[in-house]
Structures are given as C-alpha cells and as structure tokens.
Amino acid sequence: MCAARKDKKAATTAERQTEIDRLEKDVDELRRLASDDHGEAELERLKIQVAELRKEFYNHLGPWQRAQIARHPQRPYTLDWINLLITDFIELHGDRGFGDDKALVTGLGKFQGRPVAVIGHQKGRDTKQRVIRNFGQPKPEGYRKALRVMQLAAKYGRPVLTFIDTPGAYPGIDAEERGQGEAIARNLREMARLPVPVIATVTGEGGSGGALAIAIGDRVNILENGFYSVISPEGCASIIWRDSTKAETAAIAMKIMANDLKELGIIDEIVREPDGGAHADPEAAAKLLGEVLQRQLLILTNHTTKELVSARYEKFRNMCQYFDIVA
C-alpha cells in the first residue's frame, strides 16, 4: 500500500508538470491565432496565471521531487555551461597515464575576460552519448585528468571553476583495479591546498565522493533544484530498508535539498533558477549563475594564497560534529 501511494504521488507530480506544460503550449498557440487587442489582453492574463501556477508548483516540491528535476534529461550539463559562460575554451584530454575519461570535461578558457580552468561532469543527452560519457560517472583517469588541469591552473595562477552533476564515481571492477579510491583521495588532498581560488557549483546531482573529488572549493554553490548527498536516495533506501522504493523517505531523512545543505553549512550559496527549472531556460540560468561566480571571484582574488588555503582547510574541517564519549 505504501509503495502504491508513493507511485501515485510521483505520478501526480509528473502529471501536474505535464498539465502545466500543456497549458503553456495552449497559451502560445492561442497567442499565435489571436487577432485583436481584446484577445491579446485575455491571453496575457492566461499566461500570467500559468506562470504563477508553475511557480507555485516548483516552490512546494519535496526533496524527492527536486531530485527528479536535478536529473532532468534536458538540464544543462558542463558543456552547456561552458557554451553559455566561458569564451575561448580549449578542452584538454587525458591523464597522461592511462587514457581520456569523457565523463569529465576539462579545459582552459575565459570567464568575463578572466583566464580560468574549467572542470565538470558530462552525462550526455541520448543513449549513445550517455554510454560514451559513462552516464557522468568518472573513472580514476577522469579524476587524474582533472587534477592535472588543476595543477596547470595553479602553475599559471588561474582560478578553477567546477560544475558538479554526477550520480557518483564509477563503481566497476576496472575502476577499482586502477585505483578509484586513491585517485579521489589524492584530489581531495591536492584541492585542499591549491594556491588559486576554487569555486565549485552543484548544478544537478552531487553524488558521494564522485562529486566531492572536484568540489573542495573556497565557495561551494548549488542550484536551487540540485541536491548533494553522500549516497543516492535509492542507494540509501536499499541499504537502510533493503527496499529501493523507499527512496522518497530516504531523500527526506538525508536532507539533500539546497535549503537543508545551506543550513547545515555544507554549501555557501544557493543559486536561484528560472521558473520551471534550469532546463526550462538555460540562458537565464547561466546568467543567474554567472552573476554569482563573478561576485565570488572578485572577493576571492583579493585574498592572499595563504589566506585562501587556510580558510579552505578550516571550512571543510568544520563540516562535522565531534562528540566526547565518556566511559
């Protein structure tokens, strides 16, 4: 019965989203057919009502529903953010040890005229691209490629921008054989002491160490419909309750929403999204994110290297609670 109710709720959410999309298409079609001022005024009123309905719908979504938005197949990925925010981008490939992991995009470019290094996950739009990109799940060579570019950025004094959107690091045998855990751990250590500003942004889903390996930043942002967690809600439900259908319950308990993460001190700033989510208007989403990145870069570039590294270290050391156990 419980599973049935959840399925019904999920279906209701999807149906409501579909209904809103249908209404917006109907309004656009009526606008095309309208021929007088009275019709235009009525259509404008309907358009405002639909926009308010969409806004109300998105404002009242729960953690599990927001997780589905974070995973929306049309949500902007790293290459989209690069096209919208970065100029003169040159992609760099390979870890100079094993190969090139296409689940992570790395390269150099300019943001608002400032030279930067860019690193981010890439999932792919269709089945073919998702297979090539390994569904956005990096292998060790991906993290080593990212570290190579970060060290290159440090050498030439370029700030590092990372875009996080992954279900997690790839858990396959081949990845373990090539040192998946070591590659992630090395990135955590090296990012903690990079002598340049680092700004990490969770744009979709931030899963476990696969996300954290490029998320040790002076500022950690999250788009308002993104989520960031030590494990996926489905994985948590499978471990705790031995039932992946309890993912919605797990999502609530894990406090994966942007507001929860801000309150817990895990992230520094929530980046607002356009009504309907970043996938509804990528250009507007990029403008909102760009304003945040520009403001944060201006602040961080005024700090000395010693101040940056010290503050970054303290920031992540404070993301926990200590308890004295008295025997």
Which tens digits make up the pLDDT trace of 260-296?
A: 999 988 999 999 998 878 998 999 999 999 999 999 9
* Contact of 163 with 214, CB cutoff 8 Å: no
312: its two tokens: 């970054």
CB-count burial class (<10 Å; 0-12, 13-18, 19+) for 162: buried
Q: Tell me the C-alpha distance between 300 and 52, whole Å.
A: 37
pLDDT class for 53, splitting at 50, 70, 90? low
Q: Tell me the C-alpha distance between 180 and 178, whole Å.
A: 6
* Contact of 274 with 280, CB cutoff 8 Å: yes
Q: List C-alpha distances in Å: 39 to 26, 29, 268.
A: 14, 12, 47
Estimate to the nearest angstrom the gap between the alpha carbon of 24 and the chain centroid.
27
- Determine the 3-state secondary structure of 261 from DSSP: helix
- Determine the 3-state secondary structure of 43 from DSSP: helix
Domain 69-317 coded CATH 3.90.226.10:
yes
pLDDT digits (tens, 9 = 90+) for 188-216: 999 999 999 999 999 999 988 889 999 99
Domain spans of the chain? 2-60, 69-317
CB-count burial class (<10 Å; 0-12, 13-18, 19+) for 2: exposed
Q: Tell me the C-alpha distance between 60 and 54, whole Å.
A: 10
- Determine the 3-state secondary structure of 155 from DSSP: helix
pLDDT class for 309, splitting at 50, 70, 90? very high
Comparing 185 with 41, which gets the higher pLDDT? Answer: 185
The pLDDT, as a whole number, for residue 280 is 85
pLDDT digits (tens, 9 = 90+) for 74-119: 999 999 999 999 999 999 999 999 999 999 999 999 999 999 999 9
The yes-or-no verdict on residue 218 having pLDDT over 90 is yes
Under 8 Å CB-to-CB from 73, ≥6 apart: which residues? 125
- Determine the 3-state secondary structure of 31 from DSSP: helix
- Determine the 3-state secondary structure of 173 from DSSP: helix
